[in-house]
Structure 1
Amino acid sequence: MGHPMIQLDNLDLKLSLGRLVLNVLYIKSGFFYHSMPEHRHSNGSYELHYIPSGHGRLIATGREFPLSPGSLYMTGPGIDHEQITDPSDPMFEYCIFFEALPSGRNHHERLYGRSGGDSEDIREIARLFLETPFWIGQDSRQLQHVFEKLAWEINTRSIGYRRNITIQLEQIVIGLVRNYTNNQPTLQTAPLKTLDDKRMVLIENNILYNYKHITIRTLADQLGLSVRQTERAVHKQYGMSLREKLLEARLQEAARLLDTTLLTIGEISEQVGYQSSESFTSHFKKWQGLTPSAYRTRTIVPTIQ
């Protein structure tokens, strides 16, 4: 089955749900031929995933979930998640990355207050979106058709396409929240600290893909900020320094390699950017309470539900 490919970023596109504004940072689609290592999004960031075909697994919130055609899930602020594809039937995924930007007076009043003419259902959609940092289930709202129309608009770019994209994105968000209400969402209050959108994506992509080489100086140069401003920005988004965040990214990738490959400890150590196996082993044991060898041979209890 063929699916339309999308690659649209550096957008200036915002959706309004009452007083909640969703800044759309990128829209992408494609096949997962390689698994996505464990990572988490910064405060105010929400990533919507829809799987129209293929199979795999999602590991999130310490649990494992099967992914199959029709799987829909949201990974919001602070949710550790890892996506593992089935090489014999690679997943195709539509992915939309939002930054939540509520505006107005105090947080509660601007989202849930009755002033300004917002309808009750729009306020409820905004509340459920913000307060659901993680949800997974089978789509019951026929969103595949909307994603396909969205892809067609993006790829053809006919006159008026931006207006139609906005309409379809609103339909997708409403469909997502309707899925929540049918499937008992897990509700948590998500903090809403924001950073300039392009800079936030740069930080997240560097941590996810360039953790072996990025430094605070090179990241500052990319962001167009001073080193001190960059340090403050990273700490604001993650609650830790860049050094701590990069160490976490290395160790998370090492844990994935220990679980999914036959690489030696030395090879994994080198692959995640350590100059010595001893240093890697020391950091890994401090992080997991087990040496890499012991971690690899531990007994794993399945948590699929």
Structure 2
Amino acid sequence: MESADTEGDDLLSELLKPLRLTGVFDSRWHVNAPWAIEGDAEQSCAVLHYITEGGCWITADGQTALELRTGDLALFPTGTAHRLSDRPERRGLALGTVLPERQPGTSGELRIEGDGPRSRLLCAGLHYDESAASGLYKALPWALVLDRTQVDQEPLLRDTLRLLAATDRPVGPGDRLVTLRAFEMALVLAMRPLLRELADNPSSLPVLRHPGISKAMVIIATRFAEPWTIDSLAREVGMSRSAFTAAFRELVGEAPARHLTGRRMQEAARLLAETTLPQSAVPQRVGYQSTVGFHLAFRKWYGMTPGEYRTGSPSAA
């Protein structure tokens, strides 16, 4: 029998692992105090800030202000609106006025000339497929921070961030693809120690404190191909159907049936886009005994048939 700690680790590794990025806008900031930039909420986009020199404050409505110093890294998993500034109380310019075009696949530079201390930052918007974001991912804290010591304990993360922050990066064929994958690797490397910390301090994610719901989410993450129903899931974790459904919805943010469907659809999309598995074999691989039922569910989830998805996916192309 697995321990609660093992289940928590499995849950985090399966459901909170970073999403595959679809595009990145990155920028390098050269700012001298006084300065402040107001960022809007980003949809389907994680936000990353890495301090290469100086420091800054990060503030958001209803949240405790965070102070970052040289070498610190801040990650906003769901793109919560926030302000960066040299002082926490300072109000400033809207990000759209200083970096109006922030399309994925492009880079920018921001300069603010003041008389005060200088700071340099690497900032990036990491766009991901919204359909792959689980309820648990969306429940992550608004901001996750690794201080310089924690970053230095992950040498590959530290060196990747320093390379991405450099203004004289080598440019050549495939540069944007290399940049995209480098940011994706940085996101993965940053999430690893953050997830370990969450596993050690589960109060940040209440679902980890509930043995039944935590176990159910591990089952959905790893055994989604089995013919589960809400009744059989509830029995498997030792709960009544009504108590299981209510607790799952409260802690995860969506009904267990939708969460199970989402996991199955996520795997189906991966099989269609990234493998040559015959389309006829996909339904059974993701827990559907009926091909018609699978097609109806897939079309409702993605707005297209499995065949259309495979034909139109970049990986398939």
Bin for the TM-score computed over the shorter chain: 0.3 to 0.5
- Give the structure-2-normalised TM-score: 0.41
> Which has the higher Rg, Structure 1 or Structure 2?
2
Q: TM (normalized to structure 1)? A: 0.42
